[in-house]
Amino acid sequence: MNASIIIADDHPLILKGLNDFLLEKQYTILACAKNGKEAFEFIEEHSPDIAILDIQMPFLTGLQIAQKCQELKLETKIILITFEKDETIYNQAKKLGVYGYILKEFALEEIENCIASVMKNKAYFSPELLTYLEIEEVPEELELLTPTEKEVLKLIAQNKTAKEIGNILFASYRTIEKHKQHIIDKLDLESKGGSLILFAKENESFL
């Protein structure tokens, strides 16, 4: 699906560079804004799928626009582009339901992946930013599991057998096997060719 996009940045060269790049890649650019006030007016007027916003802009910052969109329940998904590697800003962006956060120095490398993720309703935060802030993103798949299933997965990561897990959780062997099958089904591990124990070990720190 070809996303409809507005772009806002108060640096003319960055705005032009991003606009030219996305047009070349055949995205639909509805408007370009030079400041936050213009950007928000364009969002209200055009209801684009995505708004790519600089964080620091005159009149309204990217975060203030994200807040307004959240308050008004606008469906436009916000992607922030910035030079800021700041944990407070990152946390604010997460809290405001921002879908994307990419660093300007990697913008042209990352923007297509970011847009593709956002169009699938998946958030995209620049790997460089997460590495810099030493933040590990919790895999989305884990949110599909119940607390008991997470506990079972944690014990699998510790090399416990189904019988041992049953003893720890006061459940029968058959119940634990059912939990294991539910986890495999929810995570779609069989079609991905992955094993339950490998997934458990790779994600143990999040359990």
Residues 8, 109 within the same domain: yes
- pLDDT surpassing 90 at residue 40: yes
pLDDT value, residue 34: 92
* Same domain assignment for residues 55 and 90: yes
**Digit-coded pLDDT (tens) for 168-191:** 999 999 999 999 999 998 888 877
Structural domain total, the chain: 2
Same domain, 36 and 119: yes
Q: Could you give the CA distance from residue 83 to residue 86 in angstroms, rounded to a whole number?
A: 9
Is residue 150 located within the same domain as residue 112?
no
Whether the model clears a pTM of 0.95, i.e. scores above it, the answer is no
Where a domain ends, among 133, 161, 183? 133
| Residue range 140-161, pLDDT digits in tens | 777 788 889 999 999 999 999 9
Residue 197, domain extent: 140-206
User: Would you state the pLDDT for residue 163?
Assistant: 94
Q: For residue 153, what are the contacts with CB-CB under 8 A and spacing of at least 6?
A: 145, 183, 196, 199, 200, 203, 207
pLDDT computed for residue 137 by the predictor: 61
**CATH number of the domain encompassing residue 194:** 1.10.10.10
**Are 30 and 124 contained in the same domain?**
yes
What pLDDT was estimated at residue 194?
67
Provide the mean pLDDT of the chain. 86
Q: Are residues 157 and 127 in the same domain?
A: no
Which DSSP string do the residues of 107-160 spell out, in sequence order?
HHHHHHHHHHHHHTT--EE-HHHHHHHT--PPPGGGGGS-HHHHHHHHHHHTT-
Q: Answer yes or no: do 121 and 149 share one domain.
A: no
Domain termination residue (choose one: 116, 133, 150): 133
Indicate if 18 and 108 belong to the same structural domain.
Answer: yes
Q: Output the domain CATH number for residue 118.
A: 3.40.50.2300
Q: Is the pLDDT of residue 83 over 60?
A: yes
